[in-house]
Amino acid sequence: MEEKVWLSNAQNTLTSVILKVKFNTYLARQNLLKCLLDTAIQVHPLAISDLTKNLQLMKKYWIMMLPLVVAACSSLKVTYDYDSQADFAKYKTYAYSEDALKLPVGDLNRDRVLAAVDRELAAKGFTKSESPDVLIDLHVRAEQKTEAVANTTGGYGGPWRYGYGGGFSTTTIDYNQYIEGTLFINMVDKATEKIVWQGRGTKTLDEDATPEKREANINNGVKLIFAKYPPKK
């Protein structure tokens, strides 16, 4: 019972923290809340019995850490697929496909993506080669999405014995439009010319992001995509 109370209070506390952050959509705010709550459950080291003290300490902690965890808890959805018959241990060298080198995201963002992929592949033990084991093929997709949010205002009620209440209220529907972008990273066996691994990262795009934020988003996205490579069979 105490754990349920703690979780309820933790959610309320974290909600008050993320109200300090500006979001493009209601969905983005809810995604961040879920991520922060999941993280709090995993890392919270204090005894549940002292709820008030724990939540106050948690609130102070998250406010201090907010600039860092917002980036880490961005609403990036990562999925991947692979050929279960492929021998990933034999892949040691790579080169980019022509499509990857012409990725249609602008020169600056293309350079950021390629640099991020180079960094992650190097961390996996890969080196570039003119006679590569695999080709890295990159593609992007952008989709315009619409989110509907209902807001109800007004109304009244009272504690009548049989649960009857009356009053007037107004519900308005706000429609928010946003762009959702997906980066596909394909690993193609050079000998067979078949895709042996694919990672995908999907995220709401911030068109007003600073150059520093763009680079941070790309680096974080590519890192999370490669987190599942090599696949565990």
C-alpha 231 chain-centroid distance: 20
pLDDT at residue 149 in the model: 58
The residues, ordered by sequence, that sit 6+ positions from 229 with a Cβ below 8 Å of its Cβ are 80, 88, 124, 187, 197, 199
Phi, psi dihedral angles at 169 (to 5 degrees): -145, 160
Tens of pLDDT, residues 73-132: 457 899 999 999 999 999 999 999 999 999 999 999 999 999 999 999 999 999 999 999
DSSP 3-state assignment of 78?
Answer: strand
Residue 230 is encoded by which pair of tokens? Answer: 């090599």
User: What is the C-alpha separation between 20 and 11, in angstroms, rounded?
Assistant: 15
- Could you tell me which residue, 165 or 131, shows the higher pLDDT? 131
- Give the helix ranges, DSSP H, for 73-184: 98-101, 107-123
pLDDT, position 161 = 40
**138 with 113: CB under 8 angstroms?**
yes
- Determine the average pLDDT of the residues in 129-139: 97
What CA–CA distance (Å, rounded) separates 136 from 101? 10
User: Residue 46 pLDDT > 50, yes or no?
Assistant: no
C-alpha to C-alpha distances, 204 to 23, 55, 70, 123, 172, nearest whole angstrom:
11, 31, 14, 27, 24
58: pLDDT confidence band, cut at 50, 70 and 90? Answer: very low
The overall pTM is greater than 0.85: no
User: Does residue 165 carry a pLDDT above 50?
Assistant: no
Q: How confident is the model at residue 63 (pLDDT cuts 50, 70, 90)?
A: very low
Residue 139: in which H helix or E strand, if any?
Answer: strand 134-154
Q: Does the structural domain 77-146+175-228 have CATH classification 3.90.550.10? A: no
CB 55 within 8 A of CB 9: yes
60, 92 Cβ separation under 8 angstroms:
no
What is the total residue count of the chain?
233
CB neighbours of residue 13 within 10 Å: 18
CA distance 200 to 181: 10
Q: Is the pLDDT of residue 145 over 60?
A: yes
134-154 vs 93-96, strand pairing mode: parallel
Q: Look over the chain and give the mean of its residue pLDDT values, rounded to a whole number.
A: 74
Which amino acid, 49?
S
Rounded CA-CA distance 231/233 in Å is: 6
Provide the β-strand partners of residue 202. Answer: 77, 182
pLDDT, tens digit (0-9, with 9 covering 90-100), for 5-39: 545 555 555 555 445 444 444 555 555 555 555 54
68 falls in which pLDDT band (50, 70, 90)? very low
Judge contact between 42 and 60, C-beta under 8 A.
Answer: no
Q: pLDDT, tens digit, for every residue of 166-211?
A: 455 566 666 566 578 899 999 999 999 999 999 999 988 888 889 9
